[in-house]
Amino acid sequence: MNVLNFVNAFFSDGAHWHGYDGIPTRLVEHVQYTLMALGLAAAIGLPVGLLTGHTGRGGNAVAFVATAARALPSFGLLVLIAVVVGIGLLPVMIPLVVLAVPPILVTTYEAVRSLDPAPVDAARGMGMTETGILFRVELPVALPLVLSGLRSAAIQVVSTATIAAYVSLGGLGRYIIDGLYQRDYEKVVGGAALVALLALVTLAVFWAAGRFVVSPGVRRR
Amino acid sequence: MDSVTKRYPDGTVAVDRLSLEIPDRSITVLVGPSGCGKTTTLRMINRMVEPSEGTILLDGEDLQRQPVTTLRRSMGYVIQNAGLFQHRTILDNIATVPRMLGRGKQKSRERAAELMERVGLDASLAKRYPYQLSGGQQQRVGVARALAADPPVLLMDEPFSAVDPVVRKGLQDELLRIQDELGKTIVFVTHDIDEAIKLGTMVAVMRTGGRLAQFAPPAELLSDPADAFVEDFLGADRGIRRLSFFSSAGLELTRGPVVRADAGAERLAAADGAPHLLVTDADGRPLGWAEPRGLSAGDLAAGPLLSCGRPFVPGTDSLRAALDCAVLSPTGWAVAVDADGRVIGVVSQQTIGEAIRSAHGAGSPGDERTAEEPADVTKVAP
Ligand SMILES: Nc1ncnc2c1ncn2[C@@H]1O[C@H](COP(=O)(O)OP(=O)(O)O)[C@@H](O)[C@H]1O
Ligand SMILES: [Mg+2]
């Protein structure tokens, strides 16, 4: 049996479509973990990135934090925190947030810092406040890059959120882990296919968001 | 500006004890070589740079007494590459300051549309984005944006340096026209002395190290450079360029050598003795120069004609333009035409030379100096 057959068998089994272990439930759980982690990471990465990028100060600190965070293995972190604080949402959220902050922080910082200085100078010269400059001059032009940072963070979180299953939580990781344990490869492949699908949907969402929120003057189309 | 000095944190003295009185409602140009502190001086006026020493007064009041955003909102600011906001349409770029000042969206846009017209931008560009405009058009948008809230003061930092010479000339003419209409107090920075002389009511020449070398009207700068630095900076042909400030109105024209193409034999005979004849068509427009010998009456245009070159318009064009016409003319005579291009007479290089000497003798245009300054004459006279 090849992979496609596994996938086919998994999705055509009616038992996989309802109940607490059904696809809709696991999908919703997975999306919840992802959104929560992404929201927390954005709440940290965006303001810090915007501020350091705008002032041009703290660039070294940003680079250091990002490199350090990238060096941490998500799974190791999960186990470590689960040992310290016990099983629950926290040991899942921390590794996911640590994973998602660097791409958001670094691209946002770079996006703002590398902007053409002329419009900023013009805005300041016409009496715009610093907050005004950041949100009305810099952010709209930096937006495509900022979104791309959020996008790579989102993709990484979507695939890594499977680790939630290790600490007895739900999400699509359940199929993969349970499947491996039960030697039910149909389940493993089906779960992996769902994660891949969700990653594609994430890409589509960001593409649509880009079309919607980035000015045509910046997209140059 | 009263004895203003700017020392940057790294120790660079960008401006050194500069004192300037910038006149109201006219264009003051700061000119000098790169790095001489022009930008720093300009940016101290809207407090983008704070002076280390000295004070700057605006209408008698210290700049420091106003909140910095209020100050800046009362001054238009135009920079080299326009610095447009690429996420906003042209109309919304121009409407930025009125919007910031809390005027309604609709009102601000109406005002922006008005300004587009004033700076010579087609209304069809309103909905475009900056990347869809040429450099010259972007610069016009920059000027319109600076004028949008009708500030009394306009600060311009090399606004036309990044566009090609033809577009630059158009922008300069436009600025002079706008200034005629609006009467702003403009401080204009450039490294181009020709631009300074063309635009400035007053020109401040700065030298490296941020010191003022001379502050004078352009004609005086050309006639009396304060020192070797200024003289050098003005360039080799300042005598010729100074002629731009004298009108060609007073030139003595003669109609003697001017004949119509269908002139009869007696008219030709009357003009005999002139080395060349200027042949015109029936409307009086110049066709070209002809040798009087061997011309057959009745159809002068049939013979070989020398080009008459570009004519000048007395009163409108300067003495420099008239001299240029004479120098370029194959006969050495300049052709004077009226506003419709009809010949009103011709003038020889010699006559123009005399006019130049007497103009210099009478001193600079617009000031009271007299011919007591022979050095002035010898510097320029051929
Ligand atoms: N922010 C700054 N820090 C240190 N030195 C500066 C700064 N800005 C300008 N300078 C220096 O001050 C001098 C004058 O600069 P500037 O006013 O920009 O000259 P200009 O506009 O005439 O070319 C130059 O030597 C320049 O290197
Ligand atoms: Mg400069």
Kindly report, residue by residue over A156-180, the tens digit of the pLDDT: 999 999 999 988 888 999 999 999 9
If you average pLDDT over every residue of chain A, what do you get?
A: 92
Helix (H) or strand (E) holding B100: helix B96-100
pLDDT at position B235 is 86
What does the block give as tokens for A14? Answer: 């009616």
CATH number of the domain encompassing residue A32: 1.10.3720.10
Residue A209 lies in a domain: yes
Within 13 Å, how many C-alpha atoms sit on residue B334's CB side?
A: 29
Residue A7 lies in a domain: no
Q: Check: CB of residue B49 under 8 Å from CB of residue B15.
A: no
Question: pLDDT at residue B161 above 80?
Answer: yes
Residue pLDDT, tens place only, A97-143: 999 999 999 999 999 999 999 999 999 999 999 999 999 999 999 99
Ligand having the closest approach to the CA of B159: 2
Structural domain total, chain A: 1
B318 has which bridge partners? B247
pLDDT band at B371 (very low <50, low <70, confident <90, very high): very low
What does the block give as tokens for B232? Answer: 């050098």
Do the strands B277-280 and B258-260 form a parallel or antiparallel pair, or are they unpaired? parallel
Question: pLDDT at residue B337 above 50?
Answer: yes
Nearest CB neighbour to B69, from listed A119, A129, A141: A129
- Closest-lying ligand 1 atom to the alpha carbon of residue B32: 22
Question: Would you list the DSSP string of B125-169?
Answer: GTT--GGGS-HHHHHHHHHHHHHTT--SEEEEESTTTTS-HHHHH
Which residue puts its alpha carbon closest to atom 10 of ligand 1? B14
Residue A164 lies in a domain: yes
Residue A8 lies in a domain: no
Q: Check: CB of residue B190 under 8 Å from CB of residue B161.
A: yes
B289 has which bridge partners? B278, B306
Mean of pLDDT values over A5-22: 86
Partner-chain contact A121 B83, CB within 8 Å: yes
Do the strands B53-55 and B2-7 form a parallel or antiparallel pair, or are they unpaired? antiparallel
If you average pLDDT over every residue of chain B, what do you get?
A: 89
Ligand 1 contact via B42 beta carbon (within 6 Å): no
Ligand 1 contact via B43 beta carbon (within 6 Å): no
Residue A199 lies in a domain: yes
Choose between A59 and B29: higher pLDDT.
B29
Residue A221 lies in a domain: no
Spell B43-60 as b/e; 16+ CB within 10 A means b: bbbbbbbebeebebebee
Which residue puts its alpha carbon closest to atom 21 of ligand 1? B39
Ligand having the closest approach to the CA of B32: 1
Mutation to probe ligand 1, out of B4, B8, B80 (largest number of atoms < 8 A from CB) = B8
Helix (H) or strand (E) holding B286: strand B286-290
Which residue puts its alpha carbon closest to atom 14 of ligand 1? B37
Spell A84-93 as b/e; 16+ CB within 10 A means b: eeeeeeebbb
Distance of CA B289 to the CA centre of its chain: 33
Rounded (to 5) percent helix, strand, coil in chain B: 40, 20, 40
Mean of pLDDT values over A27-34: 95
Separation of alpha carbons B350 and A199, rounded Å: 86
Residue pLDDT, tens place only, B101-129: 999 999 999 999 999 999 999 999 999 99
Closest CA to B30 of B206, B227, B210: B206
Ligand 1 contact via B35 beta carbon (within 6 Å): yes
Q: Check: CB of residue A60 under 8 Å from CB of residue A191.
A: no
Closest CA to A66 of A31, A36, A41: A41
Separation of alpha carbons A11 and A19, rounded Å: 15
Question: pLDDT at residue B253 above 50?
Answer: yes
The third-level CATH classification (topology) of the domain covering B2-237 is: Rossmann fold (3.40.50)
B163's CB contacts (< 8 A; 6+ apart) are B135, B136, B139, B171
End-to-end CA distance of chain B: 40
pLDDT at position B362 is 67
Residues of B in contact with A126 (CB under 8 A): 72-73, 76-77, 96-97, 100, 145-146
- Span of B50-54, B61-65, B363-367 with lowest mean pLDDT: B363-367
pLDDT band at B256 (very low <50, low <70, confident <90, very high): confident
Question: pLDDT at residue A12 above 90?
Answer: no
Show the beta-strand stretches assigned E in chain A. none
Q: Check: CB of residue B23 under 8 Å from CB of residue B48.
A: no
Separation of alpha carbons A186 and A11, rounded Å: 9
Residue A95 lies in a domain: yes
Instruction: Specify the pTM.
Output: 0.83
The dihedral of CA B144, B149, B152, B155: what is its sign? negative
Question: pLDDT at residue B360 above 80?
Answer: no
pLDDT at position B131 is 97
Residues of A in contact with B147 (CB under 8 A): none
Q: Is this complex scored with an ipTM above 0.85?
A: yes
Which residue puts its alpha carbon closest to atom 18 of ligand 1? B39
Mean of pLDDT values over B376-381: 33
Show the beta-strand stretches assigned E in B161-270. 185-190, 202-207, 211-216, 258-260
pLDDT at position B372 is 36
What does the block give as tokens for A20? Answer: 């607490």
Question: Domain extents for chain B?
Answer: 2-237, 258-361
Question: pLDDT at residue A11 above 80?
Answer: yes
Tell me how crowded residue A51 is: count the other CB atoms within 10 A of its CB: 15
Residue A17 lies in a domain: no
Q: How far is B74 from chain A (nearest CA, A)?
A: 8
Ligand having the closest approach to the CA of B48: 1
Tell me how crowded residue B285 is: count the other CB atoms within 10 A of its CB: 14
Residues in chain B: 382
Range of the domain at A109: 23-215
Separation of alpha carbons A109 and B326, rounded Å: 63
Separation of alpha carbons B179 and B147, rounded Å: 11
CATH superfamily of the B258-361 domain: CBS-domain (3.10.580.10)
Helix (H) or strand (E) holding B221: helix B218-223
Separation of alpha carbons B189 and B186, rounded Å: 10
Residue pLDDT, tens place only, B22-46: 999 999 999 999 999 999 999 999 9
